[in-house]
Amino acid sequence: MVNWLIGKTRKIVNRSRLFTHSPIYRFSHSPIHLFTYSPAKSTHSPLRAMAIHPFTDKKGITLIELVLGMVLIGIVALVVANALSTGITGFFVTDYRKEALDQARIAMDRMAKEMRNVRTSSDIGTATSSELCFVNTQGTRINFRYESPYIRRLEGGGACPGGAETGDILATGVSNVTFSGIFKYVLSTGAEVEDATGSETLIKRIKIDFKATAGSESISLPTEVWPRNL
């Protein structure tokens, strides 16, 4: 009887061992992964980790980090803006200065070239601080006139002052500097006058001084002309 009970017990134990090692038992007693619905090899599932250690995710930024980032971005933007502003301002200053210099140089060169060709001192008809009229060696009447903010060049026939004249504008944005106009005359007596009316035959040299302005920049180009036949 005892031997029979021992044999039965062994059979029951062997059957239970076979059942616990079967695929069905393992599948039914293994943890199921929440997202893939397959048995997980590890017992540390995401839900279990969150349940054990809530709010332990280290990703993201804090309010202090956000404020510091905004401050740094503002500083960098300010530095870049200042650099760009300086470059742009320098570009416009150079451009305006070049424009003013070109206008002044063209007008000055044209007037000086033609004033050298005054035919004789008696051919100077008008010599004031704002106007100079003379007849050149070709017999053409030339009139340079300062009408703020322009310098005009007019020409015609006959003696000064003459009749109808045609011409154009030599320079714009012009203003006087040291004279009441733009012309000053040095006489044979050594005197310097801005109005040589009545003393035209005594003129030996002609001084020109004006300021040309373009934008915010101004250029002054004073010069002195020695007519060949005076």
DSSP 3-state assignment of 26?
A: helix
pTM equals: 0.63
What per-residue confidence (pLDDT) applies to 22?
54
pLDDT of residue 74: 93
Distance CA 177, CA 185 (A): 16
What is the rounded distance in angstroms from the CA atom of residue 203 to the CA atom of residue 230? 7
Per-residue b or e along 156-165, where b marks 16 or more CB atoms closer than 10 Å to that residue's CB: beeebebeeb
Q: Give the long-range contacts of residues 93-99, CB within 8 A, separation 24 or more.
A: 93/216, 93/217, 95/215, 96/214, 96/215, 96/216, 96/217, 97/214, 97/217, 97/219, 99/214, 99/215, 99/217
Q: H or E stretch including 126?
A: strand 124-127
Q: Per the structure block, which two tokens stand in for 153?
A: 């060049």
CA–CA separation, 161 vs 115, rounded Å?
16
Phi, psi of 190 (to 5 degrees): 95, -10
**How far apart are the C-alpha atoms of 220 and 95, rounded to whole Å?**
16
Q: Peptide bond before 23: cis, by omega within 30 degrees of 0?
A: no
Q: How far apart are alpha carbons 129 and 192 in whole angstroms?
A: 11
Q: What is the mean pLDDT of each run of 10 residues along the chain (230 residues)?
A: 62 55 52 48 51 57 89 92 87 90 92 94 92 92 92 84 74 89 94 92 94 90 90
Alpha-carbon distance 225 to 5, whole Å? 144
pLDDT of residue 133: 94
C-alpha dist (Å) from residue 139 to 120, 156, 159, 160, 189: 11, 9, 9, 11, 28
pLDDT for the residue 156: 83
